[in-house]
Structure 1
C-alpha cells in the first residue's frame, strides 16, 4: 500500500536558470577557498561530489573536511540568494500538484544533497515547505551519506514512519534512482532532462506523477 513519497528538490521541483556547475565553482567557491589558502581544482572537486572520491579527501589540502563543506555550503547559500534576487530560481509550473498529493493522504518528505539551509531556502522561496513533513539536506555527521547513498532517504522514511515498500522515491538524476533503489524503494524518474536507466516508472512531469499515483491507490 502506497503511503508516502520522498522527493528530490533541485531540478525536480525547482530549477536554476543559466546555472553551470563548473562556472559556479570557479566564480563563487574557488575565491572563498583561496581566502583560506586552499587550491582545489574543479575536476577534483567534482569527483568528491559524484562520489568517486570521499568527501574527506579534501583534508589533504590542510582543512578539516566538515569545515570545508560548510564553506562550500555557505557560498552556495549566498549564490542561491543572489540567483533568487535576480529571479533566476524558478519552480516548475507543475509543483502545485504537491497539494493534490497531500489531499490523497500521502506523507511527503524531501531530501537534497545541498545543505539543510540551502534546501529550506529554495522551498521557502516558493512556499513549498508546508507540503513536507520532513526535509533533509546533507548531514555534517555523515557527509558521504548524500545520494547516491541511501542514508538521507532512509532517514526520511524513518521520520515519516514508512517502510521502503510503502513509499516512492521521486527524482530527476542517477543519484536519486540509485539512492531510492539502495533504500529498497521503487523509483519514479521525472524525465525533464532525459530518462535515467534503472527507474521503475517514468513521468514527464508531476501531473503525470499524480495520474500514476491515482492508479496505484
Structure 2
C-alpha cells in the first residue's frame, strides 16, 4: 500500500536559472576557502560531491572535513539568497501537485544533499515547506550519508514511521534513483533533464506523477 512520498528538492521541485556548478565553485566557494587558507581545485571538489571520493578526502590537505563542508554550505546559502533576490530561483509550475498529494492523505518528506539551512531556505521561499512532515539536508555527523547513500532517505522513512514498500522516492538524478533503490523503495524518475536508468517509473512532470499515484491508490481501494 502506498502511504508516502520522499522528494528530492533541487531540480525536482525548484531550479536555478543560469546555474553552472564549476562557475559557482570557482567564483563563490574558492575565495571563501582561501580566506581560511584552503586551496582545493574544482575537479577534486567535484569528485567529493559525486561520491567518487569520500567527503573526508579533504583532510589529506590538512583541512577538518566538517569545517570544510560548513564553509561550503555557508557560501551556498549566501549564493541562494543572492539568486533569490534576483528572481533566479524558481519553482517548477507543477509543484502545486504537492497540495493535492497531501490532500490525498499521503505523508510527504523532502531529502536533499544540500545543507539543512539551504534546503529549508528554498522550500520556505515558495511556501513549500508546509507540505512536508519531514525535511532533511546533509547530516554533519555522517557527511558521506548523502545520496546515493540511502542514509538520509532511511532517516526520513524512520521519521515518517513508514516502511520502504509503503513509500516511493521521487527525484531527477542518478543519486536519487540509487538512494531510493538502496533503501528498498520504488523510485519515480522525473525526466525533466533526461531519463535515468534504473527507476521503476518515469514521469515527465509532477502532474504525471499525480496521475500515476491516483491510479495506484485507486487500485489499492478496489
Q: TM-score range by the shorter chain?
A: over 0.9
- State the match for 2:106 in structure 1: 106
- State the match for 2:37 in structure 1: 37
For residues 36-71 of structure 1, the C-alpha deviation after alignment (integer angstroms, 9 at most, x for no partner) is 111100000000000111000001121110000000
- State the match for 2:180 in structure 1: 180
Give matches, 1:15-34, under 5 Å. 15-34=15-34
- State the match for 1:169 in structure 2: 169
- State the match for 1:206 in structure 2: 206
Q: TM-score, normalised by structure 1?
A: 1.00
Gaps of 5+ in 1: none
For residues 136-168 of structure 1, the C-alpha deviation after alignment (integer angstroms, 9 at most, x for no partner) is 000000000000000000000000000000000
Q: What SS class does the counterpart of residue 162 from structure 1 fall into?
A: coil
- Separation in 1, partners of 2:103, 2:81: 32
Q: What SS class does the counterpart of residue 110 from structure 1 fall into?
A: strand
Q: What SS class does the counterpart of residue 212 from structure 2 fall into?
A: helix
- State the match for 2:117 in structure 1: 117
Give matches, 1:67-106, under 5 Å. 67-106=67-106
- Separation in 2, partners of 1:211, 1:108: 17
- Separation in 1, partners of 2:29, 2:181: 32
For residues 8-44 of structure 1, the C-alpha deviation after alignment (integer angstroms, 9 at most, x for no partner) is 0000000000000000000000000011111100000
- State the match for 1:158 in structure 2: 158
Over the aligned positions, Cα root-mean-square deviation in angstroms equals: 0.3
Q: TM-score, normalised by structure 2?
A: 0.97
- State the match for 1:14 in structure 2: 14
Runs of 4 or more consecutive aligned structure 1 residues displaced over 4 Å after TM superposition: none
Number of aligned positions between the proteins: 217
Q: What SS class does the counterpart of residue 216 from structure 1 fall into?
A: helix
- State the match for 2:220 in structure 1: none
